[in-house]
A = this chain, B = another copy of it.
Amino acid sequence: MLLSMSSRAKATRVDSAYDRLKSDILTGMLPPGFQAPEPEVASRLGMSRTPVREALIRLEADGLVELIPRRGARVIPVTGNDICEVFEILSVLEALAAQRAGENGAAQDVLAEIETVSDEADQALVAKDIDAWAQLDDKFHRLVAEASGNNRLEAEINGFLDQVFRANTVLLRLNQAPASCAADHRKLNAAIKSGDGVSAWEIARSHRLNGLKTMRKLLQDCGLTQV
């Protein structure tokens, strides 16, 4: 799967290592719990340890990797509790973003893109293309974050969405019922467009809380405590 990584003017080895590792982790190519000493990662990436190490430190800050002294770098496993924590946080961050997007009147082009992505997601749903849908769903959420106009908020949400994305790919594409999900997106889209911040807040909040509930149920049913 192709993930759109940050395009940089000048791609240093650190950047390239960071992008490749992050992409591999998010797509599950490097599964949770995977562990390897630094020299191995470095040689696999075809560069010396230094830039790899710096990339790993950044990934550690992102909450994707753990650097265990003398034991190597490890892709941190995602527990059921972790997912719940993330969903809970997103429930308020995304609500805030949606509210601000509505109140402040987001940039026109972002609004248009939200609309487009929303439609495309519907089509993917009809075509039963789950992968495409998941990708578009993710995109939708990121666009709303962007529309908030609060850069830090956007960055924060993006970080957590990475985690959700990973969890979804790695463990369950048994996602929440995409149908009601699509309806939520449409409602949220409308609320933002009409400048109704309060409704936008409510819709975004309950959207994510529903996801949390579904996730909890799923985890319990499957008896999963770790992924």
Chain B residue nearest in CB terms to A88 = B150
A10 to B69, CA, bound (A): 10
Oligomeric state, in copies: 2
Contact of A152 among B10, B86, B92, B95 (CB under 8 A): B86
A79-119 interface code vs B (CB 8 A; 1 in, 0 out)? 00010011011011101100010000000000000000000
Q: Tell which of A38-46, A51-59, A172-180, A218-226 binds the partner.
A: A51-59
Contact of A92 among B57, B63, B85, B93 (CB under 8 A): B93
* A151 CB within 8 Å of chain B: yes
Contact of A96 among B54, B61, B88, B156 (CB under 8 A): B88
Contact of A61 among B50, B61, B151 (CB under 8 A): B61
* A153 CB within 8 Å of chain B: yes
A208 to B152, CA, bound (A): 17
A10 to B58, CA, bound (A): 21
Chain B residue nearest in CB terms to A50 = B50
Known: A61-B58, A93-B92. A85 touches B150 (CB 8 A): yes
Q: Are A89 and B85 in contact (CB under 8 A)?
A: no
Chain B residue nearest in CB terms to A153 = B89
Chain B residue nearest in CB terms to A201 = B92
Q: Within the complex, what minimum Cβ distance (angstroms) separates A120 from chain B?
A: 30
Known interface pairs A10-B69, A89-B93, A92-B96; 6 further A-B residue pairs with C-beta atoms within 8 A, sorted by A's residue number: A57-B61, A63-B152, A85-B153, A86-B152, A89-B150, A92-B93
